[in-house]
Chains A and B, each alone.
Chain A
Amino acid sequence: MKILLIIPSYNEEENILKVYKEIQKSKQDIDYVFINDGSTDNSLKIFKENNLNYINLIHNLGIGGAVQTGYKYALENNYDIAIQFDGDGQHDINYVETICKPIIDGEADFVIGSRYLDDTTSGFKSTFMRRLGKNIISVMIKWFWKQKITDPTSGFRAGNKEVIKNFAKEYPSDYPEPESTVTLLKLGYKVTERPVNMKEREAGESFANAWTSCLYMLKVSLAIIVDSIFRRNGGKK
């Protein structure tokens, strides 16, 4: 099984090598590709000097466009599983195996690493407002698709070949996680969750203030509702 870690990275010069070392430490046989999303810091230099495997986007695209580039790379190079992995040190490499297992066993097409599935796995649960937002999205997905997704905004996710093919073709550009999950549900793929640990960001800054959070909720809700209502039975895979 060829497994690829897609690591979108925007101005993460302090975290690149940390993430890389963690990947090297892990016993699993996995490939990785960094997507340098037009970073304005020294990221590109670090990628070059350390001879890492990276794709340098010629212009900043935002998280959705960057991750999609990774899926395109996975499709071109014939990977069986692609895993989205954050470049900021939030995700724990030890759980790659956990979220790959349902795919390898053929139990699911797409696995979301969840912070909320059980109370013990993850110490870091994010702020109250973020949890509220995530709960609203969960309820909406549950209501439209009768499936409980406890952590719809999680960026730690794994998909099989079919999912790679779909995401390479079509992937939302901003705040893509919940929307892309709904798209998969709509297309009839099996989506499941596994508990994972997430750490608090070690370096770099997260993007989140009151205004962007509000905008986030609006955009995501609208995307989910439109996706769910208008194209409900649209095209089974």
Chain B
Amino acid sequence: MPLTLRLALIAITLIYILLILRSIRRKKMNVSFSIFWIIAGIILIIFAIVPNMVEAVSKMLGFEAPSNMLFVLTIFIAFYLIFNLTTIMSQENKKNILLIQEVSLLKKKVEELEEKINEKKQEEK
């Protein structure tokens, strides 16, 4: 890998990690979610610093080109992430339904109580 490309890769990854850290500080992302992204960034930097490692590993595993291994890896990780997100989404959806139901039931109760109070007030008058 040419030096300029490596330097660019390192620079971009560093900016990317900074962005993640910023979003944690601004409470835009959970720390637990961000760990995944930070690890991904660190791995990218390692790849940029020692590109020979990628080549060696891909050869060992029998890939024809190192890029193939990277693609396969990325796709697997992406699949895993999306799967995870769908699970989380389903759970959040369930919580949402529960909240809507309970709030609606409570609203009904509150309205009924208000009516009762108003009736009593009118009786007293």
Which residues of A are at the interface with B, using a C-beta cutoff of 8 A?
54-59, 61, 65, 68-69, 72-73, 76, 173
Contacts and interface: CB of A to CB of B under 8 A. Distances in A.
Nearest to B100: A59
Interface of B: 97, 100-105, 107-108
B82 to A, nearest CB: 20
B97 A65 contact: yes
B101 A56 contact: no
**Nearest 4 A/B pairs, CB to CB:** A69-B101, A57-B104, A65-B97, A55-B108
A173 B107 contact: no
A133 to B, nearest CB: 25
Contact of B103 (A58, A65, A68): A58
Contacts of B100: 57-59, 61, 65
A55 B97 contact: no
A72 B107 CA distance: 14
Given A55-B108, A61-B100, A68-B97, 9 more contacts: A55-B104, A55-B105, A58-B104, A65-B97, A69-B105, A72-B105, A73-B105, A73-B108, A173-B97
Contacts of B104: 55-58, 69
A57 B101 contact: yes
A56 B105 contact: no
Q: Could you say which of B97, B100, B101, B103 has the most chain A C-beta atoms within 10 Å of its C-beta?
A: B101
A206 B110 CA distance: 34
B105 A61 contact: no
A61 B101 contact: yes
Nearest to B96: A59
A166 B104 CA distance: 20
